[in-house]
Amino acid sequence: MNRVVITGLGIISPLGNSAAEMETALHAGRVAIAPLTSVPTETLAVKIGAEVKDFDAASQFDDKKLPLLDRCAQFALAAARQAVTQSGLDLRALGARAAVIIGSGVGGITTLDECFHRLYGEGAKRTHPFTVPKLMISAAMSHISMENGITGPSFTVASACASANHAIGVAYQMVKSGAVTAAVTGGTEAPLTYGTLKGWEALRVMSAEMCRPFSKNRSGMVLGEGAGIFVIENRDHAVARGAPILAEIAGFGMSSDASDIVMPNAGGAAAAMRACLEDAGLKPDEVDYINAHGTGTPANDPTETKAIRAAFGPYADKLAVSSTKSMHGHALGAAGAIELAATVIAMNGGFIPPTANFTEPDPACDLDVVPNSARDKAFDVALSNSFAFGGHNAVLAVRRA
């Protein structure tokens, strides 16, 4: 089996639109959750979110391409360009030996929301001719494939909030097995629309004031948006061409709760972490840091705490565990990719990102959650957890290169 490394990383997020911007924000513990500006909030109960700022699509895409791109695809393609440029990999030359595997939970929901508003709200008789190619959940993947001349396996993974980790994990397995030499992979999401926000409000899992993972007074999650895209490849191939190696993907584990459509299950989450450790050949005490799923909901955080304790035993007390969703919000199908990017950026920067907005400890979340301030400490091995509605669990392990 091949070793698999990350040679390119691209990020479009509420914490910045480059790896350098995100590193600065993470180290400072900057919170990007704020009053929403992109949607009307008069009739919303939840008026906050984590929006991508300073993203000018018109300057990124020409007049012929832009009308084909939903905001979800715009994020993915912009992040992919960063990752491919950093990697220096000629994907067109690899052709069928390269893959594109992207995760997304809802795809082009902005296009769908706008379409329904025109049809049902304004009484329009027709919609834009590019509506279907813009809203389809595989659109972002398709545009990345076409722009880079990738003719190998190309598809989208949709497993709610585990979509990105599943996509990256499957891409890792394909490179590891030798099915392909390299892959462009990650996740993208742009769910900050009026209709989407009303749907999430109805679930009663949203906070109207702030995301406070693991805090006793946490009141729910806050939606975010963005994309994290990686170029991953066979380590020998990367070394031979002198590529930058940002980290090694050491393992991947997944499981299904098979229990409830919305309630998290500690047993399923623990099983995915154990499977990841086994795949990576890691002992629990070799892990330094966990980027937690950490949504800030009353149910998720104590369940994840139980799962970590079940998977790591007494060593859980020595783990640093933080939720960067406290800063960049919950980007649904892109969450795992943004959080893996945060983990790799922090690993190379020599610090552990904090759980921001922390107020008081919760006995049910009795882990070292790195409250409020980044910890200047080098770490070599980390897990990134993603647990989703439907009981989908996907965990990635990364190791310092």
| Residues 121-156: tens digit of each pLDDT | 999 999 999 999 999 999 999 999 999 999 999 999
Say which amino acid occupies 222.
Answer: V
Q: Is 178 left (phi over 0), alpha (psi -120 to 50) or beta?
A: left
Last residue of a domain, one of 214, 240, 266: 240
What are phi and psi for residue 264, nearest 5 degrees? -70, 160
Cα distance between residue 145 and residue 392, in whole Å: 27
Q: Which of 210, 240, 270 is the last residue of a domain?
A: 240
226 belongs to a structural domain: yes
**Domain check: are 224 and 352 in the same one?**
no
The CATH number assigned to the domain holding 335 equals: 3.40.47.10
In this structure, the answer to whether residues 261 and 219 fall within a common structural domain is no
What residues are paired with 361 via a beta bridge? 215
Same domain for 104 and 224: yes
How far is the C-alpha of 306 from the C-alpha of 137, rounded, in Å? Answer: 34
- Tell me whether residue 161 is one of the annotated catalytic residues: yes
Structural domains counted in the chain: 2
Q: Are 124 and 273 part of one and the same domain?
A: no
Say if residue 137 is in the same domain as residue 66.
yes
| Options 72, 115, 161, 211, the catalytic residue | 161
What pLDDT score was predicted for residue 309? Answer: 98
- Which 3 state secondary structure label does DSSP give 194? helix
User: Do 211 and 257 reside in the same domain of the chain?
Assistant: no
Q: Look at residue 246 and tell me if it is in a domain.
A: no
Is there a single domain that holds both residue 185 and residue 285? no
Residue 63's SS3 state is: coil
- Clarify whether 293 is annotated catalytic: yes
In this prediction, residue 161 carries a pLDDT of 98
Domain contains 245: no
Same domain assignment for residues 206 and 91: yes
Structural domain of 354: 251-399
- Give the Cα separation of 231 and 224 in Å (integer): 23
| Model pLDDT, residue 89 | 98
Whether 34 maps to a domain, the answer reads yes
How many Å apart are CA 310 and CA 274, to the nearest integer? 9
The answer to whether 24 touches 249, Cβ cutoff 8 Å, is no
Catalytic residue among 27, 166, 237, 330: 330
Catalytic pick among 293, 328, 365, 392: 293
* Same domain as 263, residue 355: yes
Is the domain of 214 the same as that of 353?
Answer: no
Alpha helices (runs of H) in 259-385, residue ranges in sequence order:
266-280, 300-312, 325-328, 335-349
pLDDT tens column, 47-93: 999 999 999 999 999 999 999 999 999 999 999 999 999 999 999 99
Query: Residue 183 has which token pair?
Result: 């892959």
- The predicted pLDDT at position 398 comes to 99
Position 357 scores a pLDDT of 98
Low-confidence stretches of the chain (pLDDT beneath 70): none
Same domain for 151 and 181, yes or no, is yes
The last residue of a domain, from among 189, 219, 240: 240
One domain, residues 225 and 177: yes
CB 86 within 8 A of CB 8: yes
